[in-house]
Homo-oligomer: A and B are copies of this chain.
Amino acid sequence: MTQNRQVLLKSRPSGEPTTANFEIVEREVAALAEGDVLVRTLFLSLDPYMRGRMNEGRSYAASVDVGGVMVGGTVGEVVESRAEGFAKGDNVLGFGGWQEYAILPGKSLRKLDPKAAPLSYALGILGMPGMTAYVGLLDLAQPKAGETVVVSAASGAVGSVVGQIAKIKGCRAVGIAGGAAKCEYVVKELGFDACVDHRDPMLPKNLRAACPKGIDVNFENVGGAVLQAVWPLMNDFGRVSVCGLIAQYNDTTLAPGPSWLLLLARRLKVSGFIVSDHMARMADFLRDVSGWMREGKIKYREDVVEGLEKAPEAFLGLLKGTNFGKLIVKMGD
């Protein structure tokens, strides 16, 4: 029987998670039922939303059970298929989780063409993070040419795409990122107009200087002190797309948000959103972003960690911002 290494949620974190909240086990792969596909994982996506799944209680998606396999998007290769349309050797995108093998319903899989783009891109620029940037910016915030768009976690899987689409749409793109190296990358490689370092205690002043006409659109990935710096700079009729609040995910109490007096006086619109509610835009997203990549208008960077056993530590680093680009786990052969 095939052995399957898995990363389980061993215990729920209170506050900041540690590697002790995870456990690596080895189990036999079960038999395939009709309609299912056995997929060997090639790449596992690590994303901030996974922190929420480690908690108990109501969120927009079910928690991972204690003792359950950590959830996550994966790209893999079909080992065995009992589902129509899938054959051994096919490359597929699915939600396989933190494990070497997954049994997934054929209906939940999307076939990938390895010649169209590197397979792992389906977990990033051509997948959920890229589409998050696309719908959160274009559909919810509707930026107009000449406006100033600010995005936090600007070198990350989502933020990097937000700023580059903002530039394509004729906006001023201003990033917020952690550290000089990321800020330099955001401006020099990605072509943002400016990027400010959220670790600098002068963040509010520096952000103000980078946004001389104020902020029309804020794409929020971080929350906390970063959001506090953005908020007073919002212009009348500004739009805020709330995509993530990674600085607050380890909070054990619900931290308050920014003042509504300003929200009212400036007629701001603040929209929380989750990409899975916007799947109808998938075809538009793939067409536009693929096209922009071919034209060299969108660049993309991965931070690849090798080996499933590295996933817990890499994920903890993601929560602290130590990754640089879209975080991907490449499975061992």
List A residues at the B interface (Cβ < 8 Å): 52, 58-60, 220, 223, 227, 236, 242-245, 248, 251, 254-274, 277
Contacts and interface: CB of A to CB of B under 8 A. Distances in A.
9 nearest CB pairs, A to B: A256-B256, A254-B259, A264-B272, A257-B257, A263-B272, A257-B260, A270-B270, A269-B271, A267-B272
B261 A60 contact: no
Contacts of A258: 256-257
Oligomeric state, in number of copies? 2
Given A248-B261, A259-B256, A269 B269 contact: yes
30 contacts: A52-B265, A59-B265, A60-B236, A60-B266, A60-B267, A220-B260, A223-B260, A223-B261, A242-B263, A245-B264, A248-B261, A254-B259, A255-B259, A257-B260, A257-B263, A260-B272, A264-B272, A264-B274, A267-B271, A267-B272, A267-B274, A267-B277, A268-B270, A268-B271, A268-B272, A269-B269, A269-B270, A269-B272, A270-B270, A270-B271
Residue of A60, A248, A257 ringed by the most chain B CB atoms within 10 A:
A257
Contact of A245 (B261, B267, B268): B261
Contacts of A248: 260-261
A197 to B, nearest CB: 23
A295 to B, nearest CB: 32
A271 B268 CA distance: 6
A244 B260 CA distance: 9
Contact of A264 (B244, B255, B256): B244
Nearest to A268: B272
Residue of A245, A248, A255, A263 ringed by the most chain B CB atoms within 10 A:
A263
A251 B245 CA distance: 27
Nearest to A256: B256
Contact of A242 (B243, B254, B257, B260): B260
A137 to B, nearest CB: 16
Residue of A59, A272, A273, A274 ringed by the most chain B CB atoms within 10 A:
A272
Contacts of A236: 60
Nearest to A255: B259
A260 to B, nearest CB: 4
Given A257-B258, A257-B260, A272 B265 contact: yes
Nearest to A258: B257
Contacts of A270: 263, 268-271
A219 B70 CA distance: 39
Contacts of A220: 260
A101 to B, nearest CB: 31
A272 B257 CA distance: 15
